[in-house]
Amino acid sequence: MGSRRDAALAVIVLAVAVVAVVFVEASLSIAAGVAGGVGTLVFEAVATRERALVRRYWDRSLVQAAAIAFSLVGIAVGALVAPSIVLSFVIGALVAYLGFLFVVTFVG
């Protein structure tokens, strides 16, 4: 699998989140976006400790499908319940993840 597939999945979910923002006419929250980004970076720092274990689980198609499904349901529910906060958090998390992948793949 690897970084390309991870990035492609993140871009798909990010595109859905952006479409949801436009669809519900949500305003973006900088604080929620930053929180999502920080959450992603903290998760990646912790996951790096057990890189092989995390990769072994993540490379399972069922785990990836469940993560995407969970994300899409979260976006749909969030767009209805608290669009500004939830969608900003998701977008911030995914932008940070894509930035992290870029740095790990091309810089580090």
What is the model's pLDDT at position 92? Answer: 98
What is the model's pLDDT at position 101? Answer: 95
Q: Domain limits at 76?
A: 2-107
Indicate if the pLDDT at residue 40 is higher than 80: yes
How far apart (Å, rounded) are the C-alpha atoms in residues 61 and 93? Answer: 22
45-103 per-position pLDDT tens digit = 999 999 999 999 999 999 999 999 999 999 999 999 999 999 999 999 999 999 999 99
Extract the tokens encoding 43.
């998760």
Query: Considering its fold, how many domains does the chain have in total?
Result: 1
Phi/psi region, residue 60 (left: phi>0; alpha: psi -120 to 50; beta: rest), is beta
What is the model's pLDDT at position 71? Answer: 97
User: How much is the pTM?
Assistant: 0.94
Indicate if the pLDDT at residue 1 is higher than 60: no
Indicate if the pLDDT at residue 106 is higher than 80: yes
| Contact yes or no for 30/95 (Cβ under 8 A) | no
Indicate if the pLDDT at residue 24 is higher than 80: yes
What is the model's pLDDT at position 54? Answer: 94
How far apart (Å, rounded) are the C-alpha atoms in residues 35 and 92? Answer: 7
